[in-house]
Amino acid sequence: MGKTRIGILGYGNLGRGVELAIEKNEDLELVGVFTRRDPSSVKPLLPGTAVRPAAELDDGKADDVDVLVICGGSATDLPEQTPRYATWYNVVDSFDTHARIPEHFANVDESSRENGTTALISCGWDPGLFSLNRLFGNAFLPDGADYTFWGRGISQGHSDALRRIEGVADAKQYTIPVEEALEAARSGSNPELTTREKHTRECWVVLEDGADPERVFEEIVNMPNYFDEYDVTVNFIDQEELDRDHAAMPHGGFVLRSGTTSEGTSHVIEYSLKLDSNPEFTGSVLTAYARAVARLAAEGKHGAYTVFDIAPRYLMPCDAAELRAHML
Amino acid sequence: MGKTRIGILGYGNLGRGVELAIEKNEDLELVGVFTRRDPSSVKPLLPGTAVRPAAELDDGKADDVDVLVICGGSATDLPEQTPRYATWYNVVDSFDTHARIPEHFANVDESSRENGTTALISCGWDPGLFSLNRLFGNAFLPDGADYTFWGRGISQGHSDALRRIEGVADAKQYTIPVEEALEAARSGSNPELTTREKHTRECWVVLEDGADPERVFEEIVNMPNYFDEYDVTVNFIDQEELDRDHAAMPHGGFVLRSGTTSEGTSHVIEYSLKLDSNPEFTGSVLTAYARAVARLAAEGKHGAYTVFDIAPRYLMPCDAAELRAHML
């Protein structure tokens, strides 16, 4: 069997993560990064990567693409792109606006069913692997409690919120799980934990010349939804320090389920990720699921899927007998 | 839709675990514990549980059973029972002799395909949930290393080995992961760990009257395969203390995968279980997969399966739209 041929649409941090991940999988081949920019202006990470105009994808013209991994943003790109490209290609996206998942799923499902393609939405680690572990935890311990902790890692949404404040030139925000809350969840006592008890927020802020740190501080800690319900620390630094010490994109987190199977008999399931690079790991997850999508498509299984619908064996390059012999 | 009706064959610790688990799932109903003993001699844990003779299962006579959970031992019961009962029923077993899984799978697959039933073998937490996490780890971090640690928990096989030594009246053996080895695996440095470095073995031994503790100790620590490659501690105690302090069946363990996605960028995935009762948790896992088997059977999907082949959504009682809305 030939290699599964992957295309990447959109070449930000996540697209680069997918590019690197394909290199690690011998059964997969990158046929190109598709960009809406001038291809000659895009320098790929790896020397062998072809950069092609996104217009080549229109009307299904890029017939060397088995699966297209769409690496756009959830706010405006993916709601438009995924249903559109699902008319011509098998697709994978990382749509992560939880509240809009049912609507996005319906749109993509309609497009892919009508056109006989296979689509996976909302893939990555949350939504994605953390969702899987929430499902497994609820299935195996139906009488119990769920806990999800994120971090330590940079929250893009909260960093953007800081940068929108007047007088802020640049900023990064780390979400940090509170160790005592993690330990309480691990204890199996099913504690009730408030928002403030679970996470703290750490801000690294570069001020514009003449901005008043006092006012910026007050605006941050009182910002509704983003910061007002949390214990927040704010550190003012210069741009050089921000670029030097806060350019990496580590992330991770914990999904716990604790529950009882009979009076006084409790169990704790814990899943955790410790990631040096959020986009590289997310890209690697999308890449394994792109393999699964190619296989589902080859079996004639069309329409939209989530990670909940995909049997684990589709993620691995070897066949089921080999998996049973060596991994079960 | 009516409840899914479960039968239990074999009523040891695991069968009792399944009985308790069914109580926690409103969409499932226990139609009976089937036993080869005199049913009137078997006292169920829960007052509502019917105890029925195993002979009622012969020739598919027990037509109120949607899925039969077979709770026998892997050494002699399951290799005979699972293919046999798969001729009449959808079945789930916890066959855990890793080396013989391909052979057992083939036998069960033949029986269930020929007779249009659905069978899941080797379910539980290892094989089972730990296997799933080994697969996920390899799929998402193909360039990496695997680590499985068991414990702290009682190993039945090692406890049996102790009891076979001349002069030993009774014994329990705990397998204990070495904290330093766990930390090394968590560091992301992909260390190579020897058998001795990963686990220690702790023995609690009751001697027969007049037995020589020195000789028993030497026999234990030099026993090939079981103890000679490990650091072992041996504690001689009396039966009363063994019964009082070592009757519980806690267990658990850790599956780690660490790997890199590019030069110098590494990630660690960790999955862990901390179980007050190994048979109750295993019973709960078998019960969730019994639900999945009933659904696969209703979809006309026959033959043998493992946890690798089952899409996660089949494990939950609610439908896929609800899962997407609330758990993704």
Task: Mark yes or no for CB contact B277/A261 under 8 Å.
Answer: yes
What is the reported pLDDT for B300? Answer: 98
Q: What is the rounded distance in angstroms from the CA atom of residue A185 to the CA atom of residue A183?
A: 5
Q: Tell whether the model's pLDDT for residue A157 goes beyond 90.
A: no
- Computed from CA positions of residues A166, A168, A173, A179, in that sequence, does the dihedral angle turn out positive or negative? negative
Residue B132, CA distances (Å) to A323, B126, B139 in order: 10, 9, 11
* C-alpha separations of A11 from A83, A247, A306, B64 in Å: 19, 18, 23, 57
Q: Ramachandran region of residue A220, left (φ > 0), alpha (ψ -120 to 50) or beta?
A: alpha
Total residue length of chain A: 328
Chain B partners within 8 Å of A22 (Cβ) = none
User: Cβ distance A290 to A310 under 8 Å?
Assistant: no
Tokens, residue B325: 């809305």
Tell me how many residue pairs between chain A and chain B have CB atoms under 8 A apart: 193
pTM, two decimal places: 0.96
Number of H helices, E strands in chain B: 11, 14
3-state secondary structure of B226: coil
Per-residue pLDDT of chain B (328 residues; tens, 9 = 90+): 689 999 999 999 999 999 999 999 999 999 999 999 999 999 999 999 999 999 999 999 999 999 999 999 998 999 999 999 999 999 999 999 989 999 999 999 999 999 999 999 999 999 999 999 999 999 999 999 999 999 999 998 899 999 999 999 999 999 999 999 999 999 988 899 999 999 999 999 999 999 999 999 999 999 998 999 999 999 999 999 999 999 999 999 999 999 999 999 999 999 999 999 999 999 999 999 999 999 999 999 999 999 999 999 999 999 999 999 999 9
Beta strands in B133-250 (DSSP E): 144-150, 153-154, 168-177, 199-207, 231-236
The pLDDT tens digits for A21-58 are 999 999 999 999 999 999 999 999 999 999 999 999 99
Band (pLDDT 50/70/90 cuts) for residue A1 is low
Distant-in-sequence, close-in-space partners of B263: CB < 8 Å, separation ≥ 6: none
Report chain A residues whose CB lies below 8 A from the CB of B143: 24
CA distance A213 to chain B (A): 35
Contacts of B315 in chain A (CB under 8 A): 135-136, 139-140
Instruction: Report CB contact under 8 Å: B268, A284.
Output: no
β-strands B153-154, A265-275 pairing: unpaired
Q: Say yes or no for a CB contact (<8 Å) between A261 and B271.
A: no
Give percent above pLDDT 90 in chain A: 96
Per-domain residue ranges of chain A: 4-126+279-326, 129-276
Touching B: A residues 271-290, CB under 8 Å: 271-277, 280-281, 283-285, 288
With residue B67 as reference, give the H or E element that holds it: strand B67-70
Chain A residues 178-217 with a CB less than 8 Å from chain B: 186, 188
End-to-end CA, chain B? 25
CA–CA gap between residue A69 and residue B178 (Å, rounded)? 41
Residue type, B79: P
A304 touches chain B (CB under 8 A): no
Question: What's the mean pLDDT in A118-144?
Answer: 98
Q: Do A261 and B267 touch (CB under 8 A)?
A: no
A127 contact residues in B (CB cutoff 8 A)? 328
Q: Where are the beta strands (DSSP E) in chain A?
A: 4-9, 28-35, 51-53, 67-70, 90-93, 118-120, 144-150, 153-154, 168-177, 199-207, 231-236, 251-262, 265-275, 303-305
Residue B1 contacts A where some CB pair is shorter than 8 Å: no
Q: Following CA atoms B93, B98, B100, B106 in sequence, which dihedral angle do they give, to the nearest 10 degrees?
A: 50
- Give residue-wise pLDDT tens across range A56-84: 999 999 999 999 999 999 989 999 999 99
**Res B270: pLDDT:** 98
Q: How would residue A189 be classed by pLDDT, with cut points 50, 70 and 90?
A: confident
Percent pLDDT > 70 in chain A is 100
Tens of pLDDT, residue by residue over A268-302, are 999 999 999 999 999 999 999 999 999 999 999 99
Which two structure tokens, joined as six digits, stand for B97? 């002799």
CB-based contact A21 B261, cutoff 8 Å:
yes
Of A274, A283, A328, the CB nearest to B306: A328
Cβ neighbours of B261 in A, within 8 Å: 17, 20-21, 24, 277, 280-281, 283-284
Candidates B253, B288, B314, B133; CA nearest to A129 is B133
Q: Is A157 helix (H, G, I), strand (E, B) or coil?
A: helix
- Report the pLDDT value the prediction gives residue A256, as an integer from 0 to 100: 98
What ipTM was predicted for this assembly?
0.96
- For B123-161, what is each residue's pLDDT tens digit? 999 999 999 999 999 999 999 999 999 999 999 889 999
> What CATH number labels A129-276?
3.30.360.10
- Amino acid identity for residue A234 in this structure: V
From chain B, pick out residues whose CB is under 8 angstroms from the CB of A21: 261
Which of A141, A271, A311 faces B271 most closely, judged by CB atoms? A271
CATH number of B4-126+279-326: 3.40.50.720
